[in-house]
Structure 1
């Protein structure tokens, strides 16, 4: 794979979490979250993107979201559980993405708001009109994802270099 070929990044917010008496990092998915995570997995398959790598926060709700979503995939990409994704800002997320090996062409990041939504906005220097409009009107609810594309090495990923290609969120 060449660094000249467009790379795709999918920013995927964890599905709806429950609020039991546990610390935030250990919060599990709510029943609706389990349903939405599986639906998001089907929608991710529909994108046709052959993911090489998934970076997933270590929080319980992100790990559960990924487990339910990836179950829909014919091929499971290499998965790395990354502590730095928990409560990360867009800048911190870019720093993690800059470390991605260049042999990974298509990457899926499973994380949290407000970082994931902020990252989608920060990276998207341009956008297809409809996905931008949908993301602006819906925000980035639980189980939503944005598909972005950029050209170059991962270490060159920075604000404004990507194009927002698609956006999906579960219906209310």
Structure 2
């Protein structure tokens, strides 16, 4: 009886599901359908977009936030200059890769739009896109490695507390300095 009631409830709800708009409904007007304007802007600016959370949330500070917290971290002038150089280099490398990723996504979108995509073409295109995504993430994660090496233990702990990570650097892990 219970399974019959469940089946009946599903059948009654089916028309509502079938007529519900897709969460993708407004995306068909985008120039590159797989990327929002905000995502493209982030890629072109070399912004992190959460790609370095593995480092950030495990006690490896990033240069952008270190610069924002320079006073509270009591950075020396040399540390601040190094963080600024690191940020500039990271953003330049990520931005260049981001521009290439956008072009690959544009080409993939066009191949689907004009119906010229083939299985082998698809595999090659998605492999290039995945490689670029990995390279962009690598650039951001490496910046965290480099940044952590420029700070002392107290600064790394303070960074974690200032960023709201419950007491600073995770305990039990190795120290980066």
Say whether the fold is shared (TM-score over 0.5).
no
Instruction: State the TM bucket, normalised to the shorter chain.
Output: under 0.3
Higher strand proportion, which one? Answer: 1
The structure with the largest alpha-carbon Rg is 2
Higher helix proportion, which one? Answer: 2
The alignment's TM-score, normalised by the length of structure 2, stands at 0.24
